[in-house]
Amino acid sequence: MDELTTNPYDDDKLKEECGVFGIWGHSDAAAMAALGLHALQHRGQEATGIVTTEEGRFHAHRALGHVGDAFASQTVMAGLRGHAAIGHNRYATTGDTILRNVQPLFADFDFGGFAIGHNGNLTNAYMLRKQLVRRGALFQSTTDTETILHLMATARGGSVLDRVVETLRQVEGAYSLVCLSKDMMIGVRDPNGVRPLALGKVGEAWVLASESCAFDIIGADFVRDVEPGELVYVDGHGLHSVKPFAPASNRFCIFEYIYFARPDSVVETRSVYEARKRIGAELSKESNVDADLVVPVPDSGVPAAVGYAAASGIPFELGIIRNHYIGRTFIEPTDHIRHFGVKLKHNANRAILDGKRVVLVDDSIVRGTTSKKIVEMVRAAGAKEVHMRISSPPTAHSCFYGIDTPEQEKLLAHRYSVEEMAKLIGVDSLAFISIDGLYRAMGGEARDPVSPGFCDACFTGDYPIALVDREMQGNGGGLSRLWEARA
């Protein structure tokens, strides 16, 4: 099983993209931003930052690590003065996390300061970067987001909005942006709407966030989703909306519902928790099996397991308990303690599992490393049979729109059939929800191959946005590996 060996402390999950937050017109803007970013911590744990504006002056604090650590100091918060703020939680797709890459990024233009936070990936940023460098641009970071700032610097438009629109008409890819100038806050989604962005209001202040759970923590009301291809801006005259881009098909990332978004969020008008329960119920209809218990792989497998158990009539039990207090650097994974494996994060509940036929429900299988170790752990706790059910179709293709996935050759589903995967992981049976079943669970019919309605490229290989940089570089790896881009 050497091919399934990796760092035992790796969750072996697709990594969250990033979280963005913005607020305009609030006396405690920085505090609201810190709270909002705390609610979005699941979208990026490598680094965080906030930029505020006050009478034309800008203040910033960026740090590696979690929101609670970065903004715990009263001195830091006191320095973030102003009525408006934008913030960003970062997950680095590859390479080292270094402070110069932490967002929001900031630049001084002739119209004044401008800060930007980005969730997504630009699929032609490498090409644009090469062109800009030839023309004399000096890049300070290694993120694709900085490309936007350099394009704005050379834009012909005079106003901030004109420059933003001219710039975004040159870029391709997936993006949800929050931007801040001295006169306005801007939120914008790419024409396909791959990444989420929601609009809310607390009192008279307008709020932007990747997910609605960031509104709940500050007592804001959810107003609506920013639409694909829409640019909203808030200034002294209130909220405004323009749609400056050519219409495109809506291809929102379906994996937000499977794993990325927090279950208490409402994304694109759907409750994430209810969507995951429906996925689990559909999975049960497609691949039910005689068993004694339905056990989720915590925490991401819980809602789907609830739906699976309800639809199948098999009792739901917490047969695996997760330790929520393990840190990334809790213990150095030296050779003599590697046998502890996933037990630092998960432990089998022997009293529940012993002698039982168990259905394990998880959201995905990426490389298969964690799945194999969890199955071994459940069997060691006395389970008589172990059947694994996955609430997504097989992940056989890399994502190039802001999700950190391994190179395609390292994805288990790209190399093996379902039967072969079952043998490698060590289960009695393995089944994934079908792509049509996934679409039915989302409230529709079977997947329409012409107009699917979601981005599902990681399952189907149907990439809705041109992969310009990847075609330039050849098929030698993901866009995020061309340089150290943040997702």
Per-residue pLDDT reduced to its tens digit, 142-175: 889 999 999 999 998 789 999 999 999 999 999 9
3-class state of residue 121 by DSSP = strand
Q: Residues 66-77: pLDDT tens digits?
A: 999 999 999 999
What tokens were used for 219? 């007592």
pLDDT at residue 340, as a whole number? 60
Percent of the chain with pLDDT over 90: 81
Helices 369-380 and 418-425: crossing angle in degrees, nearest 10, is 50
Domain with CATH 3.40.50.2020 in the chain: 268-460
Establish whether 253 is an annotated binding residue.
Answer: yes
Lowest-confidence region among 303-312, 332-341, 463-472: 332-341
Lowest-confidence region among 61-70, 418-427, 477-486: 477-486
405 compared with 193, residue with greater pLDDT: 193
- Whole-model pTM: value is 0.91
Phi and psi of 149, rounded to 5°? Answer: -65, -40
Establish whether 300 is an annotated binding residue.
Answer: yes
Cα–Cα distance measured from residue 80 to residue 30, given in angstroms and rounded to the nearest whole number: 6
Q: Which residues contact 202 (CB under 8 A, 6 or more apart)?
A: 23, 26, 32, 215, 218, 219, 220, 221
Establish whether 363 is an annotated binding residue.
Answer: yes
Cα–Cα distance measured from residue 177 to residue 161, given in angstroms and rounded to the nearest whole number: 13
Alpha helices in 313-368 (DSSP H): 350-353
Q: Which positions are annotated as active-site residues?
A: 18
Establish whether 141 is an annotated binding residue.
Answer: no
Cα–Cα distance measured from residue 238 to residue 222, given in angstroms and rounded to the nearest whole number: 17
Is residue 475 scored above 90 in pLDDT?
no
pLDDT at residue 326, as a whole number? 61
Establish whether 399 is an annotated binding residue.
Answer: yes
Domain with CATH 3.60.20.10 in the chain: 19-251
Strands annotated E in 263-391: 266-267, 270-271, 293-296, 320-322, 346-348, 357-362, 385-390
Q: Which residues contact 55 (CB under 8 A, 6 or more apart)?
A: 82, 182
pLDDT band at 323 (very low <50, low <70, confident <90, very high): confident
Lowest-confidence region among 110-114, 129-133, 140-144, 476-480: 476-480
CATH architecture of residue range(s) 19-251: 4-Layer Sandwich (3.60)
> Of 235, 210, 12, nearest to 119 (Cα)?
210
pLDDT at residue 72, as a whole number? 96
Q: What does CATH list as the number for 268-460?
A: 3.40.50.2020
Q: Which helix (H) or strand (E) holds 147?
A: helix 145-153
Q: What is the mean pLDDT of residues 310-326?
A: 91
